[in-house]
Structure 1
């Protein structure tokens, strides 16, 4: 255990840049490795998951070289030219690396063996195996469609039209990546829109990809195979999920004014900002621009009196990871905030509804826990209570960071039972928060 007390701070002031977006970091390494020539990447998230992707692309012939902090050079081999890896591809704990790379390999004439850690090896891969098998790839998986597994790619692979049975950006991406080296048109039909980083980046690298949205919201995504990808220069946008804690902190700590540089504002990810603005939050977009097909801006966030609202459940998918931070903002707002449609939060790293209800209740917030959401009656800006209070975070990094922010607006500080999960997901979080307070 590594407990730490987060105490009330003066106004937060300054400029920060949060770590790069993980989803985009994975994809720029993969697509850079398939483009002919050098792709230059800055702001890459250098977590273990992304490094697993880099190692796998190296094993299949690309040159992937770190040149400095967050700065990488990728020399690609071209679509269709991936090499047979000599040994198993070690995916560590990265489900994204595994599912997307299974897609890539499926339409190349190579055989690749995928392995992962104990946690990843429990996660079923059947949702990806089904469509890729229809395209002609063959699989030898462990029991229940799990790792370790072997993929034998098909050449030529067969273009398919695949309707996603369950909303999944990873399954969609796997099929589109397989479609890159498949002659003809590969189609994915998405009844419920999911994160569209793959579509944006494939277009950015020059793939012929089209998206049509029907009147009921269904998205029909087509990609023309045997693509030629062109190398890019990419500055990976800051992760909106990481920025969320600092946005909320600046809104609720009196006198604060913080600029968060280079934040990704992909509409499938930016729901929190929309909700906080509706609550009265001052969040201004400076220097809006597009990087690698992704919308980006610097955010100027100023302390604002917030008011409770009813949060539309339709916005939940675009901010599902940011609800713990929103609950802290709601606890300081004037009036009642109602959230619903959040069943998914019960099966994250912890049961985030139960754990946040207990944590905020411990420091004096008025919380009603419902089956699919929380109803929070805010303090109207009054400091949260709790003298010698220790919060049980259940090894959940987002709970720990959200309650660290709550500590800044408490009367006597809030103790987090264990800060180790923060170090795993966002190692510079505590230093950044301290820097703004100083």
Structure 2
């Protein structure tokens, strides 16, 4: 177990970058595996969750060369080239891995079993199992497929016209992947905007993916998928912690280089700017079909705001750090329609509230979010990560504005999505140390 010891008082200044986008890194490996030819990936996120995806694809017979920890070559085996694994596929703690992989495996000619950590076995899988069964998939699972472990047997798939009850990039991606193996057209309707990395990447590979307003379709390709040569943009979800920190720590002014600014991912930027944060996009460009920019942020006087509806989908992973920023904003901040927080790595509503209260925050939980009154002078205290990487990073940022010393226990989980998080903050001037 690792702990981060944080003290306030120093502004953040200078320039930095963040690790490659987690969502895109997962997909680049998985989709490269079913292309024909070699996919070259740079700025791959060398975090625990993405390493789980590499491990399961290797277990499915895919050769993956690691040039450096952030540069990979995936030797694609084609749409039907995966091999039957000799053991249970261990998805680790990665919800993206197990959900997308299930969509890929339901169309294979062999049986496979998927499992992961205790956290993964608590996360809902029925949201993918039910529509996949509607396509004819043969899936077994605990509590009739509501939870992992999952077993997948060969089946003849047919297209489905499915309206998602809740916007979810993982559910959408799972069904679009299954659609590549199905007879007929698979059509997925989104109730709101969800991440579109899957559509962008598969279309760049030549897959028959089409978008019609709020609908996305998938079907069996008539020609092999083309491999990619891509540099993964910096992860907005990681950049969010630095954006919020610089916005609330007095005297801060930083530049975060090469961040992916896909419109389905910039909800946290929009929210912080609505609260009064000074954030500027510079050097806007496109890399591998994804928009990228350098983000410049400096300390600002924040004010409370209300967030809900479709906006929540575009920043669901960033809500813990938004809560930290809200503790320093003038007035009341309300987050609603965020039920999905209840079934993340932890119940992020409960854990965000409990840990911020330890620092003196005025925060109340609701059924689908929280209410925060500010500004509040936070006071350092021992806090827990609950084995949740985003909560650990949010509490570290909270410690940077709290009076006295804050100790974040179980902080090793930051490496799941932001390896080098502590080093990056130190390089920007933060007063923190890491101890085993």
Which category of TM-score, normalised to the shorter sequence, fits these structures?
Answer: 0.7 to 0.9
Counterparts of 1:393 and 1:96, CA distance in 2: 21
Cα gap change, 1:307 to 1:99, in 2 (>3 Å): closer
User: What is aligned with 2:85?
Assistant: 85
Question: Does 2:402 align with 1:401?
Answer: no
Spell out, residue by residue over 1:5-40, the C-alpha distance to the aligned partner (whole angstroms, 9 max, x if none).
311242212222222222211111111111121111
Cα gap change, 1:85 to 1:278, in 2 (>3 Å): same
User: Matches of residues 101-112 of structure 1 in structure 2 within 5 Å?
Assistant: 101-112=101-112
Spell out, residue by residue over 1:301-349, the C-alpha distance to the aligned partner (whole angstroms, 9 max, x if none).
1222222223344411211221221222222223333333334434544
Question: Does 2:42 align with 1:56?
Answer: no
Cα gap change, 1:140 to 1:268, in 2 (>3 Å): same
Cα gap change, 1:95 to 1:5, in 2 (>3 Å): closer
Counterparts of 1:375 and 1:120, CA distance in 2: 28
User: Matches of residues 34-433 of structure 1 in structure 2 within 5 Å?
Assistant: 34-123=34-123, 125-145=125-145, 146-154=147-155, 157-213=157-213, 219-227=214-222, 228-379=224-375, 384-386=377-379, 389-433=381-425
- After the TM superposition, which of the residue ranges 257-266 and 53-62 deviates more from structure 2? 53-62
Q: Is the 8 A contact 1:313 1:339 kept in 2?
A: no
Q: Is the 8 A contact 1:203 1:293 kept in 2?
A: no
| Larger-gyration structure (1/2) | 1
Spell out, residue by residue over 1:408-434, the C-alpha distance to the aligned partner (whole angstroms, 9 max, x if none).
223323333443443555342112111
Higher relative contact order (CA 8 A, sep 6+): 2
Give the length in aligned residue pairs: 428
Partner SS, residue 244 of structure 1: helix
Spell out, residue by residue over 1:357-397, the C-alpha distance to the aligned partner (whole angstroms, 9 max, x if none).
45444545444555544443333xxx8253x6333554443
Question: Does 2:431 align with 1:435?
Answer: no
Normalised by the length of structure 2, the TM-score is: 0.87
Partner SS, residue 284 of structure 2: strand
Cα gap change, 1:57 to 1:420, in 2 (>3 Å): closer
Kindly state the Cα deviation for residue 41 of structure 1 after the two structures are TM-superposed. 0.3
Cα gap change, 1:192 to 1:254, in 2 (>3 Å): closer
Kindly state the Cα deviation for residue 177 of structure 1 after the two structures are TM-superposed. 0.8
User: What is aligned with 1:216?
Assistant: none
Consecutive unaligned residues of structure 1, counting only runs of 5 or more, are 214-218
Counterparts of 2:339 and 2:183, CA distance in 1: 41
Cα gap change, 1:431 to 1:362, in 2 (>3 Å): same
Cα gap change, 1:296 to 1:334, in 2 (>3 Å): same
Counterparts of 1:425 and 1:410, CA distance in 2: 24
Q: CA RMSD in A?
A: 2.8
Cα gap change, 1:385 to 1:96, in 2 (>3 Å): closer
Consecutive unaligned residues of structure 2, counting only runs of 5 or more, are 431-436
Q: Is the 8 A contact 1:285 1:300 kept in 2?
A: yes
